Structure 1
């Protein structure tokens, strides 16, 4: 029979049944379904399906479609399987623009349809209806005009007459009790072949049809087709566009059926027993061997199966289970073989054990000894697969860099030779058997015990955000109160820790007394005050000038602080801070190790003419900056050798002591503000001397 005729026959079964007898949700009567009203659900006309909020965990619900006539409700579709909502205030709404939207308790959307309503349709007549096929349909009172339907976006199940297409796929649950997206997927690959894929957290692999087939044709598939479609009818017959087909064991009976990719990775067709039990029975499955599914037991572990205990996972010798609750993480080694110890390792035989994939190479026709040597040569080799192929009379050798998808089957005639370090209890030159390996819990038993407790991610995020904002507000309030308290204590701007016009810090009198060891080491004296040597807490050596209270009041002190704070030149002394505490007035300068020019001129230190010339030029540069380059016109008023300090091995100069300076704006050409003599006689600024002569 031609395949196109079969497809035509199957697609004819998609004829939509009558819509008039089932409960609908429309804009005019009721535009939403609430999670707080379990009875407020959509029911198909035949009573086999319901659509509403289905509990998937503690205070967690997903909008779902489920079979109602089975012995237990069986979910066949979910809208928000990975983002459930909580049991208060969540609802599904039909908006005026024709979109379905699912919102949680705080009104945030977690799922919505994106199909626009054609402009020619009346949005006020939209209806959401659950059909007898289990298809949830949004239409405009016209069964032939479907705006959106759940059949276009399956989760883990196909229903009769529901097509699997190039843009849809089936994704398994994580476990029997966890409805979130799992690790197995049924889909059409880019070569148009229907496949099963294990998609783990870090590793992915195809396992159906058998991955060792070089050509899908060896598995009865065809990649030479122009479509990607698969569908099965109510009688239990499935056909896909790559020529794959199967029939249910009870083919011919028109009974409820579903095709589901289970959490264990196998694809199964289920039929509902219409007798009193109302149970689901498997009438077809893709893989006959449960251990043929990839990713079941994780790396470095072996899957085995027997009818008595079912499927189980075991770590290979020398390895231990990584996560006792989840076999998908596999096993980790209890030993270490470095590249320098390659010759100190040997091999243990695991009979009838196969690990698929992760081959370093495939040397042709190597003997067992030759294959072992190939593995010994590679630092990355963790073992090798070895098998004698009797039909062709040759050996197969596959060194492995990873041990994935392991299984033990009696009908597999090959063995795995596991690389282990010599001289340890892990290696005893024996062949490992089933009895040598510890029996661990069956993966199916573990999966039944694990039930995910869902949380509303949006609410949790909002709570974290609110907590962070609240904490930030508390910190801001405390900072404001702190600074207000500080401002209240130091209401005088002159006594603040930092002046707006300066770049230095305020010291307490106690700090500077400690830095100078009680003002014990005098390095200079003048009319304005005494200079002491000190060491700051950060170990900087400094010169601290303690001003005479009688000779310089607060006004002069603040003038000097503000003046020097605004200046920045290599030939001007740098001030690091000040103290204004009670009657104490102190300035903290950088320390000049060679002292003043006056001291050096009177000492035995030879200042040749070249050094003296450089000192004169440097001093002139500093004064020129004060007079011409800084933002305000500054007169030093007391330029003398005692106020020229020297530093470095070259005795470079820096001008100091601005305590008697006078600030003038450049526009103030009238110098009448100098009402009294300033500075030391013989060293006064010419401007002061000239001005003073006019007053004599």
Structure 2
């Protein structure tokens, strides 16, 4: 290559590098304990930790309330080990503008915003708006390049919309904001209603379809509360559902929906006089939440110090998670052997539950069903109907037990009480006959004229796939069945003796219907004079800035 061409090449390369450096900048937005506040100091962005936790998160919280409540968490999947040296940086070049959270102990960012698509721009800036929305804006025309309202966590605030790609995902526990197993989303494929989903696929509650003014399952939403709901382009892939808030003469009332770690969606407003959040609506009843207590776990509801307890002879699969309020891993036998000829059966009473598979047969007595169950290590429980002689043996696992005093359900399919197979040493306590537990197999159907059938429960659509004959013979454990223990009617007395006096009150306050409490709601508008200024509502929150036009992309939901 001639010398003149070589010199020209190096001169051109130097100009390119000089241009890149001159048009690239990194600005530290937050570092350590510094915060960024909204214009009226309602919200603040900072690097915070949670009680009993050594992890730190980039989060937005209410700055104006006495109770510090996180409404959005950025790095919920990858927390920072310390607050010191954790920085939020804004990187700006001619081709990109993004935020990134870094710590010197990690080689990659703990979290960062996606790179905006579209034409290049010269500069950008970050703002925390008065409605709690963190936005990344083009300095040239104010176009929104990214906003936190498009990446919600477990809180739903006024001005935030749920769409095909934007859904709420619960925290794992009250002190762990990592993604949990529950989500609130627009229900595919029609996107005309909202649904609660367990583990990404298993729907257990929905609002019913949108009528134009309300959801069929929540007609109360038309009452003149502090919300104005709007549903843009329902029943299409472009559907977007959200709400705005109105305020009274007494001023702004903080409000939000939250998807709880235990799978309920709850609605809160701030009660200034008490300095606390007031819950005045929720769905569904807690013991109707799918997967809450896991395998061999019994839902006790909010009356108990723990939402769930294990069947006798079983203990939590995850002791740490159980202690933190995460019961989804369920229970395992305390004796690790899964099959013992000395096993007995615990009378659970009438229960609503789910199971793996079930075998039907005719029998003259329950002892026949027990003998058959004890002949297979895979059999975990049974029901027997004295009237019809129908015996149902359940295989694999049983789960989602529901107590009638908590969920208010009626008697099930007439199949009789559920008897769960338990180690004999753990079968000394039984069920108080005064505390019924409803019994109906989730998604069960009547099967007539069948002597022996094998059916598998499909939890996704609550249908039963019925096959006959059985595909395989269960593994035999022993030819000598254990004698069924006597009455076990004392089992729940241990767990419920302190709660029986509260059952009536619980049924009133946790109605299966809409649980709006007018007196509690009115308290949210109390001022210092004690009057209730429930008049002259006017729109408070302006809409978030319009997003910069981009090509439509499909973003997988976070689970």
TMscore range, shorter length: 0.5 to 0.7
Alpha-carbon separation, structure 1, partners of 2:76 and 2:330 = 26
Alpha-carbon separation, structure 1, partners of 2:293 and 2:498 = 11
| Residue 376 of structure 1, CA deviation | 6.1
| Residue 386 of structure 1, CA deviation | 6.2
Match of 1:187 in 2: 185
Give RMSD over aligned pairs.
4.5
Greater RCO (CA < 8 Å, at least 6 residues apart) = 2
Change (3 A) 1:252 1:433: farther
Report if aligned partners of 2:267, 2:281 keep a CA contact under 8 Å in 1.
yes
Match of 1:152 in 2: 150
Listed as ranges, the matches of 1:41-440 within 5 Å are 41-56=35-50, 60-85=55-80, 86-97=82-93, 98-106=97-105, 108-116=108-116, 118-119=118-119, 121-123=121-123, 126-141=124-139, 145-191=143-189, 192=191, 194-199=194-199, 206=202, 208-209=204-205, 220-221=208-209, 235-238=226-229, 241=234, 255-273=253-271, 275-287=272-284, 289-305=285-301, 307=303, 309=304, 311-327=306-322, 328=327, 329-334=329-334, 336=337, 338=339, 347-360=345-358, 363=360, 369=366, 375=373, 379-385=377-383, 397=392, 399-410=394-405, 411-414=409-412, 415-420=417-422, 428-435=485-492, 437=494
| Residue 82 of structure 1, CA deviation | 2.3
Unaligned runs of 5+ in 1: 1-26, 210-215, 224-230, 443-696
Change (3 A) 1:247 1:378: farther
| Residue 135 of structure 1, CA deviation | 0.8
Report if aligned partners of 1:207, 1:293 keep a CA contact under 8 Å in 2.
no
- Indicate the SS of the match to 2:111: strand
Change (3 A) 1:251 1:245: farther
Alpha-carbon separation, structure 1, partners of 2:45 and 2:426 = 61
Change (3 A) 1:238 1:265: farther
| Residue 134 of structure 1, CA deviation | 0.9
- Indicate the SS of the match to 2:399: coil
Unaligned runs of 5+ in 2: 1-22, 212-220, 429-483, 500-559
User: How many residue pairs end up in the alignment?
Assistant: 382
Deviations 1:491-510 (A, max 9, x none): xxxxxxxxxxxxxxxxxxxx
Alpha-carbon separation, structure 2, partners of 1:366 and 1:238 = 56
Change (3 A) 1:236 1:83: same
| Residue 159 of structure 1, CA deviation | 0.9
Report if aligned partners of 2:122, 2:140 keep a CA contact under 8 Å in 1.
no
* TM-score when normalising by structure 1: 0.47
Alpha-carbon separation, structure 2, partners of 1:338 and 1:260 = 43
Report if aligned partners of 1:384, 1:400 keep a CA contact under 8 Å in 2.
no
Report if aligned partners of 2:161, 2:241 keep a CA contact under 8 Å in 1.
no
| Residue 102 of structure 1, CA deviation | 1.4
Alpha-carbon separation, structure 2, partners of 1:206 and 1:91 = 39
Report if aligned partners of 1:42, 1:50 keep a CA contact under 8 Å in 2.
yes
Alpha-carbon separation, structure 2, partners of 1:151 and 1:256 = 17
- Indicate the SS of the match to 2:132: coil
| Residue 105 of structure 1, CA deviation | 2.7
Report if aligned partners of 2:25, 2:92 keep a CA contact under 8 Å in 1.
no
Report if aligned partners of 2:155, 2:168 keep a CA contact under 8 Å in 1.
yes
| Residue 154 of structure 1, CA deviation | 0.8
Alpha-carbon separation, structure 1, partners of 2:371 and 2:137 = 69
Alpha-carbon separation, structure 2, partners of 1:350 and 1:374 = 19
Alpha-carbon separation, structure 1, partners of 2:426 and 2:101 = 60
Report if aligned partners of 1:102, 1:111 keep a CA contact under 8 Å in 2.
yes
Report if aligned partners of 2:26, 2:89 keep a CA contact under 8 Å in 1.
no
Report if aligned partners of 1:337, 1:421 keep a CA contact under 8 Å in 2.
no
| Residue 80 of structure 1, CA deviation | 0.8
Larger Rg over CA atoms: 1
- Indicate the SS of the match to 2:292: coil
Alpha-carbon separation, structure 1, partners of 2:313 and 2:492 = 15
| Residue 422 of structure 1, CA deviation | 7.4
| Residue 268 of structure 1, CA deviation | 0.9
Alpha-carbon separation, structure 2, partners of 1:100 and 1:246 = 27
| Residue 66 of structure 1, CA deviation | 0.9
Report if aligned partners of 1:64, 1:79 keep a CA contact under 8 Å in 2.
yes
